[in-house]
């Protein structure tokens, strides 16, 4: 499978997603981690990754570092995080220093489709709520496989979309930024990973976590809307549009079209090449 977008549009889309998830308002709306299920689901995912002492772990699309911070704080491992947004990398690096974890936890600016690491250096790779946004999923999957050692584990939590798919605004760029527009059915994620040399060994559905996150976003948007005259950061937020998109997302979850899932895969013997 190749990217469904022309190269220029794909770069624009990635940039938009990274920019959208760099803002302080997004941090106010989404809270500690930027994915459904929060850090409880992250811990559930980590339990499937066999993180031995001294292992090297990569968090792809690490955002402001929530997942990577939990990994480094709760496991005796070395952690790297990589995110397309430079400002997220700065936030995450500050958080690692403040947590006293800087020696074992580093963040880098980089693209999931061109990871800035050598082959087979990681024992585990995680990617939360981001694979769905990568325009060229086959290339990103090959990159995840390339940096994993054979036998190493990949842990993903991500948005899933069931047929007939999304309609309205969510099918466009706004949906992409909201991690919905290019999400795929869980089976399709497994197929993309299989083509890159990774065998799915475990999946779990967490659809209720997405429903809760959409409710939380709606509630926080309402609260922020009431505070908008007091906080300069909120002046440029189009609350009406945000409420419309949130209502559409809630309907997609209610109708069983949008959901959230965990997937664990094992890197097979030889890396897949294009």
Ligand X SMILES: C[S@@+](CC[C@H](N)C(=O)[O-])C[C@H]1O[C@@H](n2cnc3c(N)ncnc32)[C@H](O)[C@@H]1O
- Judged by the rule CB under 6 A, the positions of this chain that interact with ligand X are 14, 17-18, 21, 33-35, 61-63, 66-67, 83-85, 88, 111-113, 128-130, 133-134, 179
- Could you please report the per-residue DSSP string of 127-195? EES-GGG-S-HHHHHHHHHHHEEEEEEEEEEEEEE-TT---GGGGSHHHHHTT-TT-B-HHHHHHHHHH
Nearer CB in complex with ligand X: 30/198: 30
Nearer CB in complex with ligand X: 74/150: 74
Nearer CB in complex with ligand X: 31/268: 31
Rounded Cα distance between 169 and 142, Å, is 31
Q: Which residue is nearest to ligand X (CB)?
A: 63
CB of 111 to ligand X, least distance (A): 5
Rounded Cα distance between 28 and 224, Å, is 9
Rounded Cα distance between 107 and 63, Å, is 10
Q: Dmax of the chain from CA atoms?
A: 58
CB of 94 to ligand X, least distance (A): 15
Report the interhelical angle of 66-74 vs 38-46 (nearest 10°).
50
Rounded Cα distance between 131 and 142, Å, is 12
Nearer CB in complex with ligand X: 85/200: 85
CB of 218 to ligand X, least distance (A): 17
**100: number of Cβ within 10 Å:** 11
Nearer CB in complex with ligand X: 177/228: 177
CB of 233 to ligand X, least distance (A): 18
CB of 2 to ligand X, least distance (A): 16
């Amino acid at each position: 499978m190749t990217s469904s977008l022309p190269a220029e549009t794909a770069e624009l889309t990635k940039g938009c997603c990274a920019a959208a998830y760099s803002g302080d308002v997004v941090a106010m709306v989404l809270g500690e981690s930027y994915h459904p299920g929060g850090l409880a689901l992250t811990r559930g995912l980590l339990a499937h990754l066999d993180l031995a002492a001294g292992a090297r772990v990569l968090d792809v699309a690490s955002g402001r570092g929530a997942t990577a911070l939990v990994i480094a704080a709760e496991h005796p491992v070395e952690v790297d995080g990589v995110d397309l947004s430079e400002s997220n990398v700065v936030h995450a690096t500050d958080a690692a220093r403040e947590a006293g974890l800087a020696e074992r936890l580093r963040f880098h600016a980089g693209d999931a489709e061109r990871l800035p690491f050598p082959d087979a250096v990681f024992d585990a790779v995680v990617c939360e709520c981001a694979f769905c946004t990568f325009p060229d999923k086959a290339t990103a999957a090959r990159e995840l496989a390339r940096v994993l050692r054979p036998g190493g584990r990949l842990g993903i939590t991500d948005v899933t979309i069931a047929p007939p798919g999304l309609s309205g605004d969510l099918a466009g760029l706004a949906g992409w930024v909201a991690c919905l527009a290019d999400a795929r059915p869980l089976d399709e994620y497994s197929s993309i990973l299989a083509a890159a040399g990774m065998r799915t060994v475990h999946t779990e559905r967490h659809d209720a976590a997405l429903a809760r996150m959409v409710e939380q976003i709606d509630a926080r948007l309402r609260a922020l809307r009431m505070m908008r005259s007091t906080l300069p950061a909120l002046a440029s937020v189009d609350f009406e549009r945000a409420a419309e998109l949130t209502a559409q997302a809630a309907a997609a979850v209610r109708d069983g079209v949008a959901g959230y899932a965990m997937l664990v895969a094992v890197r097979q013997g030889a890396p897949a090449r294009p």
